[in-house]
Amino acid sequence: MSLSIRPAAAGDTALVLQFIRELAEYERLLDRVVATEPVLHEALFGAVPRAEVLIAEVAGVAAGFALYFHNFSTFVGRAGLYLEDLFVRPEFRSHGVGKALLIELARTAVARNCGRFEWAVLDWNQPAIGFYRSLGAVAQDDWTVFRLEGAALTALARR
């Protein structure tokens, strides 16, 4: 198996959006995907890129992706690397693709002097949770994620 990891290029926007849709379908959240190619292209490759993407290929075939960006830890006083999405197509699972993506992201975090590398996983996704634990990741069970979106976000912004 010839596995390679590369940064996404502007011409990969449609592929990245397809990966996002496949991930959303797996997570039973496809109805929430509203991203379009132009919006995604601007966010990833525009004047001020908001995130970065790695593409995993097996024998030249797109097998998975990781979308990530920097956050900041005030306690550590340094940037962190936040993995927003990791997805490996079913036919490529259990072949080291996800692990290779995470290793590359860990290398990026270390090279950029990040204090943390973190991500979230759905509570029901036991295969992913087990996989992450096998790599040494530790669940942050004492934290609860909050989110404002849609009407609630707009309402708060108008106060």
Q: What is the DSSP string of 2-51?
A: -EEEEE--GGGHHHHHHHHHHHHHHTT-GGG----HHHHHHHHHSSS---
What confidence tier does 99 reach under pLDDT thresholds 50, 70, 90?
Answer: very high
Q: How far apart are CA 99 and CA 132, in angstroms?
A: 9
| Digit-coded pLDDT (tens) for 24-56 | 999 999 999 999 999 999 999 999 999 999 999
Active site residues: 132
* SS3 call for 132: helix
Q: What is the pLDDT of residue 87?
A: 97
Domain with 77 in it: 3-157
Predicted confidence at residue 4, as pLDDT, reads: 97
- What average pLDDT does the segment 8-31 reach? 97
Indicate the average pLDDT of the chain: 96
* Residue 1 pLDDT grade (very low, low, confident, very high; cuts 50, 70, 90): confident
Whole-prediction pTM:
0.94
pLDDT at residue 32, rounded to an integer: 95
The total number of structural domains in the chain stands at 1
Percent over 70 (pLDDT), the chain: 100
**pLDDT band at residue 68, thresholds of 50, 70 and 90?**
very high
- Average pLDDT score over residue span 52-61: 97
The CATH code of the domain that includes 21 is 3.40.630.30
137-156 pLDDT, tens digit per residue, is 999 999 999 999 999 999 99
